[in-house]
């Protein structure tokens, strides 16, 4: 029996299958960061298509925490209603919904914003040089994550993901390539993970204990002197007691690097982190084949599989994948004639 379409339970979250839509920025808001009709259609279509867990794209906890000025935000109460509408409709079609809260740090591309980072190092020659964060800045951003998490609960989300990947602010603190601090937030694994742990603790103060908290990480920096999966596993072990339930494993984008990509190129990183931390993991990376996704779950290399670009091309991938794997699943009754 295919395991890709088996249910999975994490705390009070029961997923109908192991297929995850990861956060993928659509750059479709106005400057107010509010969800609109585009986001509604985009996400609800994937719920109709059979995805088990939908993770809403990177959502800024501050205005200066956006990657661009067309990103979603949750830094004010007026941004809740549009997201709540999406969550309610996706749940109606059987999907569970999470949202990724993040801060762009030095990779904010909005000229008018105050770029902050662990150290005053630009991402590359095309980015402005950020200013190194003071401890007061760290406290301010931590509080912004806490307030945004409270709004996530108001919107009715089933799970919450912290964006600590792809070279954005929390990821910058985790990587020695971006973090050259000499205080308690830099240097050792414990110090580099300190900010992430403080953010997790702040979020857990308002995010219900019965709901899962996911952390997305870049497990490989692809540059000499950077992080490798074993480093991330060690840092996750240092913070997981604060309330981490699932690790979403990606890689790269902390610094410019040449990456050899191929189907499943990040799965081995997820395996290492799963083994070393004992936590459930979400794995992926250019996966398109149902049989490859099934192999990953069957061989317990990961607990869930994310499909990014493939779900952009085909929002009904889960329905087709179940057919290819010989698994009977419930279709929307409106589409039954096409089975």
| Confidence check: pLDDT of 204 > 90 | yes
Q: What is the pLDDT of residue 286?
A: 98
State pTM to two decimals: 0.98
pLDDT of residue 25: 97
Encode pLDDT of 74-105 as tens digits: 999 999 999 999 999 999 999 999 999 999 99
Inter-residue contact 27 to 226 (CB < 8 Å)? no
Cα–Cα dist 124/235, whole Å: 26
- Residue 192 banded pLDDT, cuts 50, 70, 90: very high
Grade residue 1 by pLDDT with cuts at 50, 70 and 90.
Answer: confident
Alpha-carbon distance 254 to 58, whole Å? Answer: 16
Position 160 pLDDT exceeds 90: yes
> Using one digit for the tens of pLDDT, what is the confidence trace for 2-54?
899 999 999 999 999 999 999 999 999 999 999 999 999 999 999 999 999 99
Asked if the model's pLDDT at residue 291 lies above 90, the reply is yes
Residue 339: what pLDDT?
86
Domain ranges of the chain: 8-338
pLDDT band at 58 (very low <50, low <70, confident <90, very high): very high
Q: Average pLDDT, whole number, for the chain?
A: 97
How far is it, in rounded angstroms, from Cα 82 to Cα 223? Answer: 40
Q: What is the pLDDT of residues 242-253, one digit of tens each?
A: 999 999 999 999
Fold for the domain defined by 8-338: TIM Barrel (3.20.20)
């Amino acid at each position: 029996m295919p395991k890709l379409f088996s249910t999975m339970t994490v705390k009070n979250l029961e997923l109908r299958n192991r297929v995850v839509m990861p956060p993928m920025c659509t750059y479709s808001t106005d400057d107010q960061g509010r969800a609109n009709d585009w986001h509604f259609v985009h996400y609800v279509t994937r719920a109709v298509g059979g995805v088990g867990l939908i993770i809403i794209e990177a959502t800024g906890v501050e205005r200066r925490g956006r990657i661009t000025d067309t990103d979603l935000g949750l830094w004010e109460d007026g941004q809740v209603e549009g997201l709540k509408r999406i969550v309610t409709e996706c749940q109606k079609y059987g999907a569970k919904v999470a949202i990724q809260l993040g801060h762009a740090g030095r990779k904010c591309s909005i000229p008018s914003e105050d770029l902050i980072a662990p150290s005053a190092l630009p991402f590359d020659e095309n980015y402005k040089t950020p200013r190194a964060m003071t401890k007061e800045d760290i406290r301010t951003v931590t509080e912004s994550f806490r307030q945004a998490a409270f709004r996530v609960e108001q919107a009715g989300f089933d799970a919450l993901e912290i964006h600590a990947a792809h070279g954005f602010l929390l990821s910058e603190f985790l990587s020695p390539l971006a973090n050259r601090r000499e205080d308690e937030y830099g240097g050792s694994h414990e110090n580099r993970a300190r900010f992430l742990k403080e953010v997790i603790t702040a979020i857990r103060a308002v995010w219900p204990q019965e709901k899962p908290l996911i952390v997305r990480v870049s497990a490989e920096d692809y540059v000499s002197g950077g992080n490798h999966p074993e480093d991330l596993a060690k840092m996750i072990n240092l913070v997981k007691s604060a309330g981490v339930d699932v690790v979403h494993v990606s890689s790269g984008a902390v610094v410019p690097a040449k990456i050899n990509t191929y189907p499943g190129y990040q799965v081995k990183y997820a395996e290492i982190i799963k083994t070393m931390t004992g936590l459930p993991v979400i794995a992926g990376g250019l996966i398109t084949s149902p049989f490859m996704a099934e192999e990953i779950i069957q061989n317990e290399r990961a607990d869930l599989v994310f499909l990014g670009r493939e779900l952009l091309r085909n929002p009904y991938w889960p329905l087709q994948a179940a057919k290819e794997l010989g698994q009977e699943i419930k279709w929307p009754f409106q589409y039954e004639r096409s089975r």
